[in-house]
Amino acid sequence: MRRLFAILITFCLALPAGAQSLIRDGDIEHALGQLARPVLRAAGLPADQIKVLVIQDSRMNAFVIDRAHIFIHSGLLLRLTRPEQLQAVLAHEAAHIANGHLTRRLDNIRTAGSVAAIGAGLALAAAASGVDGKAAIGVALGIGSSAQRRLFGHTRAEESAADAAALRYMRASGVDLAGYVEVLALFKNQELLMAERADPYTLTHPLSRDRLRAIEAQGAGVTPTPSAPEAAYWFARAKGKLQAFTQAPSATLRLTGRAWGTDEVTLLRQAVAWHRTPDAARAREAIDRAIALRPDDPYLHDLKGQILLEGRAAPAAVAAFARAAQLAPQDAQVLAGLGRAQLVAGKPAAAVATLERAMTRDASNPPALRDLATAYAQLNRPGEASLVTAERYLLLGRPKDARINAERASGLLPRGSAAWLRAQDALSAAEIQIKRQPRR
């Protein structure tokens, strides 16, 4: 793992909140995937093909825009207190996918009068796509609050249907139904707030008294039960790591205590806190203690690699990242970390090989593209360096810079080669973005 906030793409989602970003962290995404798996399977959806991604935003919201991704705001994840609450949110969003509610949403995207609405939908899907590199190119456009509601919003009828389906999924997967009632209690009073103060969940997932009564009736008499150990573990891991990177280190250490933890989640949080303090020696001791408890966990080795690399111990970082990549050879973010460490350690050829593997699995990582361009340049491969630089600028919403680099790549690469064709795609995407940019 590089930094927790490896910004893939920025986009304005709603209200005057400014730019937001996806939070990409293989550890957190793996934990959320484990929590989502039972409810996705109950919904008849391919659990291995749907990623749960976190958006850096303190407000509470969750939404879907395609059949491959569920987006959840960091503010909502940090407000939840039990895994069943998170699974209720995931079951509800899964219901929108399984019930075909995205068909209307896709129609909204196709017919939207706002180019920004189209761009936001494509940007989110492209930024999260690890299947087709070309899908990750070209769309980082803003979206206003009214466009967001049209794009992400559901009708009350859809919400009621999603509620009923989500409760079925939770029953089928053995998830405590009380979690659903508890989540809606968080939003019960939101619709009473002024629009500019309300969390976007209430704007995109409208509540009603009838809907609340129906859910509360189904949950009547349901007493919260202890969380399943596995669900409790993955929830603690995802939330704990997110807290450790977003809260002040002193706050994390107050919560965990300064004595060494006895479980790997506590030690992971302490490692992050000491790393951010910074206290390299304690950070390394904490992560080594965590690895001793869970030696085959790739994401603990990945975090150790980050701590070492940012502590200017590049050779040791390469070894840590290499172990992580050995344990998780398909994880693009782990591979990107290894590639960066190899580059810093003065091994550009190895970095190119590793980063190219990473990009075949997820072509939407600007920091990895930056590292790959640097490695190409060090190996005197300027055409490829310009190409991936163009692709990075497209992801970052800088089409004019992308066009300059795509034109340079077109002149340097062998005409008709696969790389040259990618440069033409980047050039076309840059021209489209430039035309869509608002005139000043």
User: Which pLDDT score, from 0 to 100, does residue 200 have?
Assistant: 58
Mapped onto helix, strand or coil, the DSSP state of residue 181 is helix
For residue 52, how many other CB atoms are within 10 A of its CB?
25
Tell me which residue has tokens 């389906």.
165
Instruction: Mark the ranges of the chain whose per-residue pLDDT is less than 50.
Output: 1-19, 110-147, 192-196
Strand order from edge to edge, sheet including 20-23: 10-11, 20-23, 51-56, 69-73, 62-63
State the fold for domain 10-218. Zincin-like (3.30.2010)
CATH architecture of structural domain 247-436: Alpha Horseshoe (1.25)
Q: Answer yes or no: pTM beyond 0.75.
A: yes
- Torsion, Cα of 182, 185, 187, 192 (10° steps): 180
Is residue 132 packed enough to be buried (19+ CB in 10 Å), middle (13-18) or exposed (0-12)? exposed
User: Which pLDDT score, from 0 to 100, does residue 205 have?
Assistant: 62
User: Which pLDDT score, from 0 to 100, does residue 47 have?
Assistant: 94
Kindly report, as residue ranges, where domains of CATH 1.25.40.10 are found in the chain.
247-436
User: Which pLDDT score, from 0 to 100, does residue 72 have?
Assistant: 93
User: Which pLDDT score, from 0 to 100, does residue 221 have?
Assistant: 61
Contact 352, 376 (CB under 8 A): yes
User: Which pLDDT score, from 0 to 100, does residue 226 have?
Assistant: 83
What letters, b where the CB count within 10 A reaches 16 and e where it falls short, cover 191-223? eeeeeeebbbbbbbbbbeeebbeebeebbeeee
Mapped onto helix, strand or coil, the DSSP state of residue 81 is coil
User: Which pLDDT score, from 0 to 100, does residue 387 have?
Assistant: 97
User: Which pLDDT score, from 0 to 100, does residue 239 have?
Assistant: 98
The radius of gyration computed from the CA coordinates of the chain, to the nearest angstrom, equals: 22
Kindly report, as residue ranges, where domains of CATH 3.30.2010.10 are found in the chain.
10-218
